[in-house]
């Protein structure tokens, strides 16, 4: 995870002066039309309804899938990845 965060930081440094839009997969699954509107607006393109079907592979809450979820949630409290444990 530290390597991933380091790479994200390097990308932020390289492209920090450029406009950037962050899209989370969870948001895309929850409301793909709204996220596509946001993406096309960001790119300055006309909106076109997306033609896709997204199916969540694990519909169960992460807390039921990860054995040490509470431990991880406590570890990441206050961290930039904390939102993944909400």
Does a structural domain hold residue 4?
no
Residue 54: its pLDDT value, please? Answer: 67
Q: 38 near 20, Cβ under 8 Å?
A: no
**Residues counted in the chain:** 86
Does a structural domain hold residue 25?
yes
Give the lowest-confidence range in 31-35, 39-43, 58-62, 67-71.
58-62
What span, in angstroms and rounded, lies between the C-alpha atoms of 54 and 56? 7
Residue 51 and residue 79 in one domain: no
Q: 53 near 41, Cβ under 8 Å?
A: no
pLDDT tens digits, residue range 20-33? 888 888 788 788 89
Q: How many domains does the chain have?
A: 2
Residue-number span of the structural domain to which 31 is assigned: 18-55
pLDDT tens digits, residue range 44-55? 999 988 887 767
Residue 66 and residue 85 in one domain: yes
Using DSSP, state whether 70 is helix, strand or coil: helix
Q: 79 near 85, Cβ under 8 Å?
A: no
- Prediction pTM value: 0.55
């Amino acid at each position: 995870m530290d390597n991933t965060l380091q790479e994200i930081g390097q990308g932020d440094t390289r492209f920090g002066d450029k406009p950037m839009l962050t899209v989370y997969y969870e948001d895309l699954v929850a409301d793909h039309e709204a996220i596509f509107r946001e993406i096309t607006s960001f790119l300055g393109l006309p909106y076109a309804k997306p033609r896709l079907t997204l199916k969540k592979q694990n519909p169960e809450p992460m807390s039921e899938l990860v054995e040490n979820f509470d431990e991880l949630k406590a570890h990441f409290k206050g961290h930039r990845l904390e939102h993944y444990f909400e």
